[in-house]
């Protein structure tokens, strides 16, 4: 469903954000990407979303080359990005011009538990409810791919855990392919079938961890803790690699100064 082949991205400033990334995400799979800040995780997500273009390599979604935003891809950002003057219902239906919207919007709101708040304004919502609205907006057309960029990082721990569990329930609705960027190791291990560890700069894949635990996953279970330990070790290796690259003369992370 998602394929990256030799993907690199260099920004006009000269920063090489990611380099030579090869990645495949299967249909209905949930993949989480973790890594230190600045290692290119969100850059990869934006390339898949068509919000940025790779400098080299190719990104495909559902077999088609990504050449801009597509309705095959829903995106949930760290902040809900709701329009404050529109109701919850109208925020979710925004962009569905010329289509029958009432049914799909009502279904999406019901799936995220906001059927009773369709007429509410964003200022009347809690942080968790606002992010549920953003998820409903991304899901309203049932896109085959859902991208989530640190979707719960600004929420308190209890709300974050609640929404992680709720996201799995939403995934069970029609099982989209999910690609999640997160700093939260537990979140990655609770949600994902595979966890990809990035290192950088430039960002590249350091390791992949297949989380072969049944759902729902018990955070207190010894098997879960074993995956936590492995992820922490891989992140530690990623951080050491990043420091070593930064100290290497002629590091390719930035273009030479003129």
pLDDT in tens, 204-238: 999 999 999 999 999 999 999 999 999 999 988 75
Q: How far is CA 75 from CA 72, 87, 88, 91, 100, in A?
A: 10, 20, 17, 14, 21
Is-contact 166 132, C-beta < 8 A? yes
pLDDT at 94: 87
Task: For residue 30, give the nearest of 159, 195, 186, 153 by alpha carbon.
Answer: 195
Residue-wise pLDDT tens digits, 181-196: 999 999 999 999 999 9
User: Quick one: 240 exposed, middle or buried, by C-beta within 10 A (0-12, 13-18, 19+)?
Assistant: exposed
Residue that wins the pLDDT comparison between 67 and 201: 67
Residue 256 has pLDDT above 50, yes or no: no
Q: What would the CATH number be for the domain defined by 2-72+145-247?
A: 3.40.50.300
Residue extent(s) of CATH 3.40.50.300 domains in the chain = 2-72+145-247
Q: Is the pTM of this model over 0.85?
A: yes
CB atoms inside a 10 Å sphere around CB 250: 5
């Amino acid at each position: 469903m998602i394929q990256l082949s030799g993907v690199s991205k260099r920004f006009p400033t000269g920063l090489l954000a990611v380099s030579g990334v090869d990645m495949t995400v299967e249909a209905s799979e949930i993949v989480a990407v973790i890594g230190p800040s600045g290692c290119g995780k969100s850059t990869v997500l934006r390339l898949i979303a068509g919000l940025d273009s790779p400098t080299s390599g190719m990104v495909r979604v559902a077999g088609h080359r990504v050449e801009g935003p597509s309705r095959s891809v829903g995106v949930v950002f760290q902040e809900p990005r709701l329009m404050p003057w529109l109701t919850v219902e109208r925020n979710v239906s925004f962009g569905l011009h010329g289509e029958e919207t009432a049914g799909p919007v009502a279904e999406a709101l019901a799936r995220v538990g906001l059927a009773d708040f369709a007429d509410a304004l964003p200022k009347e919502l809690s942080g968790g409810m606002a992010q549920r609205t953003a998820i409903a907006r991304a899901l309203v057309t049932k896109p085959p791919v859902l991208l989530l960029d640190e979707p719960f990082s600004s929420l308190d721990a209890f709300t974050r855990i609640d929404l992680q569990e709720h996201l799995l329930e939403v995934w069970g609705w029609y099982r989209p392919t999910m690609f999640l960027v997160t700093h939260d190791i537990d979140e990655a291990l609770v949600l994902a079938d595979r966890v990809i560890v990035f290192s950088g700069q430039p960002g590249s894949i350091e390791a992949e961890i297949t989380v072969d635990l049944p759902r729902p996953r018990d955070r207190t279970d010894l098997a879960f803790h074993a995956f936590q330990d492995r992820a922490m070790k891989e992140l530690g290796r990623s951080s050491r690699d990043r420091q070593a690259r930064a100290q290497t003369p002629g590091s390719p992370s930035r273009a030479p100064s003129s």
